[in-house]
Amino acid sequence: EGRPVCILAIETSCDETSVAIVRDGKEILSNVVSSQVETHQRFGGVVPEVASRKHVESITWIIEEAFDQAGVAPAELSAVAVTHGPGLVGSLLVGLVAAKALASALELPLIGVHHIAGHIYANQLVHELEYPFVSLVVSGGHTELVYVESEGRFHIIGQTRDDAAGEAYDKVARALKLPYPGGPHIDRLAHEASEAVTLPRAWLEPDSYDFSFSGLKSAVLAVLNQAGMKGIAFEPAAVARGFQDSVVDVLVEKALRAVQAYGAKQLLLAGGVAANKGLRERLGSRCAEAGVPLLAPPLSLCTDNAAMIAAAAFLKYRRGQFAPFDLKAEPLLKL
């Protein structure tokens, strides 16, 4: 017991600069997220060079803001945590340098966190986890089914062979002339649709937990091209609905099959695409039918944020898993 454990965490792996202070792995004292979406919007996607420059511009005031909002003094911190991969190398480096500077000035231990472990343990901020569990991680950069045998022991049982689910959402949205990031727009359109365009589902080999979304994306583009060539008016909502149905179908069926095959006690949803209403609804009803407890973070903790990094770091802190001060940025870090 004794003194509370206060962890300051930094997340800069992609286009969100975020700093959080979390007490005892559960209580979010602050979670400041500064999104660069507006900056990248006009390019239709994240431009790595621009992203790292933006992180440099904002990291210092975001750290100050996180302290202010938490009402915590630097001397009250127990450790400094940072995402060291995977992600854009220039972006990761900004967070790493800031974390090392802070940890060394305050003489605190440094904790390196894998970005995906952060997404998974976002659930720990609001739920009680029971091992073993399966996590469906769906974001702009990742689509993975992870079997988590016990605390911190991850086994990737399936992953995308091409585009990540969020990436497919963003590309299809772009083809439909929707703003970046397109996921939420497609989600909304899909719910407004009165009909759905029929699109393929990539089940792959019968026993595979892998995913593939590039064929689906091409099928959407082919539908749009054909309509354009023949001058046929098409319903963007029907395309959005067909696309979403196809993505959700495959994600939900493979996740449930994994839960059953691995004898998991829970299914944890994680990552930016976990905010998708269609996915949440369908997973919710399928899990209820199958008697599988489904956990998902609130929407604000699904997309990139530093509170989730602090949550994962708290577990490492309890185990004394600290990082050396020459901790490297690893764009392709394995879970």
Q: How far is the CB of 140 from Zn ion (least distance, A)?
A: 7
Q: Is residue 76 within a helix (H) or strand (E), and if so which, with residue range?
A: none
User: Which residues within the stretch 132-151 sit at the binding site for Zn ion (CB under 5 A)?
Assistant: 139
Q: How far is the CB of 117 from Zn ion (least distance, A)?
A: 11
When CB distances are held under 5 to 8 angstroms depending on the partner's kind, the choice from Zn ion, ligand KG4, none that residue 183 binds is ligand KG4
Q: Is residue 111 within a helix (H) or strand (E), and if so which, with residue range?
A: strand 110-114
Q: Annotation-wise, does 250 bind a ligand?
A: no
- Report the relative pairing of strands 294-295 and 266-270 from DSSP bridges: parallel
**CB of 35 or CB of 69, closer to ligand KG4:** 35
Q: Are residues 21 and 30 in contact, defined by beta-carbon separation less than 8 angstroms?
A: yes
Q: Annotation-wise, does 245 bind a ligand?
A: no
- Report the relative pairing of strands 133-138 and 266-270 from DSSP bridges: parallel
Q: Are residues 116 and 143 in contact, defined by beta-carbon separation less than 8 angstroms?
A: no
**Number of residues engaging Zn ion in binding (CB under 5 A):** 2
Q: Which of 66, 275, 304, 313 binds Zn ion (CB under 5 A)?
A: 304
**CB of 236 or CB of 271, closer to ligand KG4:** 271
CA atoms within 13 A on the CB side of 179: 9
Neighbour tally for 198: CB within 10 Å: 11
When CB distances are held under 5 to 8 angstroms depending on the partner's kind, the choice from Zn ion, ligand KG4, none that residue 169 binds is ligand KG4
**CB of 144 or CB of 304, closer to Zn ion:** 304
Q: How far is the CB of 138 from Zn ion (least distance, A)?
A: 10
Give the span between the Cα atoms of 69 and 240, in whole angstroms: 39
Binding residues for Fe cation are: 115, 119, 304
Binding residues are: 115, 119, 137-141, 170, 183, 187, 276, 304
